[in-house]
C-alpha cells in the first residue's frame, strides 16, 4: 500500500497520524477514538480487527492506527496476513482472535455431547426440560436415522423409534394436564404464565427419561476459530458417520466466513493427520481394553469419590499466604509447619471470606485441591452436568441399557408406570437388534435419556464451589440435584472446612422445581 492512497493515515517518518477522514471512520468503528480503553463496534469487520491484533507483537503503534494504516483500505491484506501467520507459521494465538457463531440443527443427543466436548467454546441447546419433543417435522418425529443402515434395519429402527415417541407424546401431554389440575392454585396465586411454565417443566422433567439418544435438537456454539478448528478435528476422528459428517459440514461452512483461519483444519498434513492420530490411538486402546479387561463388572456405587488431595485441607495454608508475601512457597511451608490447627484455621477462614452469594468464590489456592469422581447416573443428568467447562478428565463409557433405569415418583403417582416401562422395553429391543446386525456404535442411538451410564471427572476445589452450589439449586433437575448433594456429603467427610464453606448448597426437597424460578422471571418481566 502506498501512502498517497490511504486517506485515513498520514505518515511523518516513523510516526503515524490519523487524518480527519480517519477519525470520521473511527467514530463508527470504535467506542472511543482517543482513550486508552475502547471496544470495536459491530461495524468493524471481525476479520480486520483480528488481523490488526495479530500485528500487536510487532507493531509499536496504537492499534487503531494499525487498523487504519494496514487494513481499512485493502481488506485483502488482512486475509494475506492471516494466511501467512496461521497457516504458514502455525500461530495459535492469532487463531484465538477471531470468533464465530455456529449453529448445528438436527443433531442427535449423541452428537450434541461431542459438539459440547471442548473446553474453550460456549454452548446452548434446545432443552428437554422445557420443550415438548413430540412435534413432527415433515410428518416425522424428531430423531436421527443413520443413512447408512440397510433398508430392513432402517425400517425396524424407524418403527421402534416411532413407538417410543408415541408413548413419550401421550405421557408428556397427559402429565402436563394432570399437573395443571393438581396445581390449579398456582394459576390463581401467580398467573397463567408461571402456572403453565412450571407444570410444563415438571412434566418434561418426569417424562424426558423416555427420549432416545437419537432425539435431535439445535445446538448454538460460539467461540474462537481455534476452538472451532479443534471441534472439527475431533469430529473427523470419530467412527460414527453422523459425527464425521458434522465435522465436514462445520469445516465447509466456517471456511465461508473465515477461510484463512480454517485452512489448517482441512490440510492433509495438519488437521487431517491429527484426526487420524486420534482415531488410531483410540482404536488401539479399544482393542487392548477388549483383550485385557474381561469378565463381568461387579458394579459400583452411584456416586463415588475415588481419589482426593490433600489428605489435610489445612495443608493449603502456605498457598493461601503466597501472593501476599515476598517469600518462596518452600519458606512459607517451613514457617507454617509448626503452627497449630487453630492458627492455620484463622488463615483458612480469612481466605474463604464472608460469602454473600454463590458467585462469591474463594481464591485460586483452592485450585490445587482435587476430587476425582465416578458416577453411575442417567444420561439425561449427565448431559446437564457435562456442560461445565472447568472440569478435568471428562470421560464416559458407551451408552448401554445394561445399568438399568429409575422410574420417577411422579410417573407412578400419575398412573403412567406401565407406559413408561414400555419405552425401555422397546429401547432395549432396538439396542440389541442393532448390535446383532453389526452396528455396535449406532446401537447407542436406541438408548434412552433415562438409562444409567458410567462416567468420571476431576474437579478442583474452587470449581467445586460453582459446580455443586449451582447444580443443587431448587430449579435444577431432581436427578442431578441428588448427585451433587451426595457429592457434597462425601466431600465434606474428607474436607469438612471446604464442605462447610459451601454455604449455598441447597438440599431442600421441592415438589415443583421450577416454581420459584418462574415466579422470579415473571416478576422481572413485569418490571420492564
User: Widest CA span of the chain, in angstroms?
Assistant: 84
Give the pLDDT confidence score for residue 515 in this predicted structure.
57
What angle (nearest 5°) sits at the alpha carbon of residue 196, between those of residues 193 and 202?
Answer: 135
pLDDT tens-digit map of 480-512: 999 999 999 999 999 999 999 999 999 888 665
Assess contact for 107 and 246: CB atoms under 8 A.
yes
Which long-range contacts does 103-106 make (Cβ < 8 Å, 24+ apart)? 103/218, 103/219, 103/220, 103/221, 104/218, 104/219, 104/221, 104/246, 104/249, 104/250, 105/218, 106/142, 106/144, 106/216, 106/217, 106/218
Q: Look-up: residue for cell 496504537?
A: 62
Q: Look-up: residue for cell 453389526?
A: 438
Grid coordinates representing 499 are: 464442605
Give the pLDDT confidence score for residue 505 in this predicted structure.
96
Cα gap 115→252, rounded to integer Å: 16
Give the pLDDT confidence score for residue 1 in this predicted structure.
46
DSSP 302-360: SEEEEEEE-SSGGGGHHHHHHTTSSS-HHHHHHHHTT--HHHHHHHHHHHH---SSTT-
pLDDT tens-digit map of 425-440: 999 999 999 999 999 9
Q: What is the DSSP letter of 84?
A: I
> Can you give the pTM of this predicted structure?
0.90
Give the pLDDT confidence score for residue 295 in this predicted structure.
73
Residue 514 has pLDDT above 60, yes or no: no
Cα gap 15→33, rounded to integer Å: 18
C-alpha distances (whole Å) from 204 to each of 162, 329, 453 are 18, 52, 21
- Region 94-119: mean pLDDT is 94
pLDDT confidence tier of residue 58, bands split at 50, 70 and 90: confident
Give the pLDDT confidence score for residue 186 in this predicted structure.
75
C-alpha distances (whole Å) from 455 to each of 184, 300, 301, 386 are 40, 11, 12, 10
Cα gap 273→283, rounded to integer Å: 15
Percent of the chain predicted with pLDDT > 70:
94
Burial classification of residue 101, based on how many CB atoms lie within 10 Å of its CB (0-12 exposed, 13-18 middle, 19 or more buried): exposed
pLDDT tens-digit map of 164-183: 999 999 999 999 999 999 88
Amino acid at each position: 500500500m502506498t501512502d498517497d492512497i490511504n486517506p485515513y493515515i498520514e505518515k511523518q517518518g516513523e510516526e503515524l497520524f490519523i487524518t480527519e477522514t480517519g477519525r470520521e471512520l473511527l467514530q463508527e468503528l470504535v467506542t472511543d477514538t482517543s482513550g486508552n480503553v475502547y471496544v470495536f463496534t459491530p461495524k468493524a469487520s471481525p476479520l480486520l480487527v483480528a488481523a490488526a491484533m495479530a500485528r500487536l507483537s510487532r507493531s509499536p503503534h496504537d492499534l487503531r492506527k494499525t487498523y487504519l494504516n494496514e487494513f481499512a483500505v485493502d481488506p485483502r491484506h488482512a486475509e494475506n496476513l492471516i494466511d501467512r501467520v496461521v497457516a504458514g507459521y502455525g500461530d495459535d494465538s492469532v487463531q484465538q482472535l477471531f470468533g464465530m457463531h455456529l449453529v448445528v440443527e438436527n443433531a442427535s443427543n449423541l452428537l450434541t455431547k461431542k459438539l459440547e466436548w471442548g473446553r474453550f467454546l460456549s454452548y446452548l441447546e434446545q432443552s428437554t426440560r422445557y420443550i415438548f419433543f413430540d412435534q413432527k417435522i415433515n410428518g416425522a418425529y424428531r430423531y436421527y436415522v443413520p443413512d447408512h443402515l440397510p433398508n430392513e434395519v432402517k425400517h425396524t429402527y424407524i418403527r421402534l423409534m416411532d413407538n417410543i415417541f408415541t408413548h413419550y407424546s401421550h405421557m408428556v401431554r397427559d402429565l402436563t394436564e394432570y399437573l395443571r389440575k393438581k396445581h390449579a392454585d398456582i394459576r390463581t396465586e401467580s398467573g397463567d404464565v408461571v402456572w403453565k411454565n412450571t407444570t410444563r417443566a415438571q412434566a418434561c422433567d418426569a417424562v424426558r427419561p423416555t427420549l432416545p439418544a437419537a432425539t435431535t435438537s439445535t445446538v448454538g456454539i460460539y467461540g474462537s476459530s481455534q476452538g472451532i478448528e479443534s471441534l472439527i478435528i475431533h469430529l473427523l476422528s470419530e467412527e460414527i458417520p453422523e459425527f464425521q459428517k458434522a465435522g465436514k459440514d462445520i469445516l465447509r461452512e466456517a471456511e465461508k466466513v473465515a477461510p484463512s483461519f480454517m485452512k489448517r483444519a482441512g490440510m492433509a498434513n495438519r488437521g487431517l493427520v491429527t484426526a487420524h492420530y486420534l482415531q488410531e490411538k483410540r482404536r488401539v486402546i479399544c482393542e487392548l481394553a477388549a483383550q485385557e479387561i474381561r469378565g463381568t463388572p461387579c458394579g459400583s456405587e452411584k456416586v463415588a469419590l475415588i481419589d482426593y488431595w490433600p489428605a489435610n485441607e489445612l495443608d493449603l495454608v502456605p498457598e493461601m499466604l503466597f501472593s501476599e508475601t515476598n517469600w518462596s512457597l518452600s519458606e512459607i511451608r517451613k514457617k507454617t509447619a509448626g503452627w497449630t490447627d487453630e492458627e492455620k484455621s484463622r488463615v483458612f477462614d480469612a481466605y474463604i471470606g464472608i460469602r454473600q452469594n454463590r458467585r462469591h468464590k474463594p481464591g485460586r489456592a483452592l485450585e490445587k485441591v482435587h476430587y476425582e469422581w465416578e458416577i453411575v447416573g442417567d444420561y439425561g443428568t449427565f448431559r446437564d452436568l457435562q456442560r461445565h467447562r472447568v472440569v478435568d478428565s471428562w470421560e464416559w463409557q458407551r451408552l448401554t441399557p445394561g445399568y438399568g433405569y429409575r422410574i420417577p415418583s411422579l410417573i407412578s403417582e400419575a398412573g403412567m408406570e406401565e407406559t413408561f416401562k414400555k419405552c425401555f422395553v422397546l429401547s432395549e429391543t432396538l439396542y440389541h437388534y442393532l448390535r446383532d446386525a453389526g452396528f455396535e456404535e449406532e446401537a447407542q442411538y436406541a438408548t434412552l435419556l433415562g438409562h444409567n451410564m458410567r462416567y468420571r471427572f476431576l474437579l478442583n476445589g474452587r470449581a467445586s464451589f460453582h459446580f455443586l452450589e449451582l447444580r443443587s439449586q431448587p430449579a435444577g433437575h431432581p436427578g442431578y440435584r441428588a448427585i451433587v448433594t451426595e457429592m457434597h456429603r462425601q466431600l465434606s467427610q474428607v474436607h469438612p472446612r471446604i464442605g462447610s464453606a459451601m454455604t449455598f448448597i441447597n438440599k431442600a426437597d421441592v415438589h415443583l422445581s421450577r416454581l420459584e424460578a418462574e415466579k422470579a422471571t415473571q416478576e422481572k418481566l413485569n418490571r420492564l
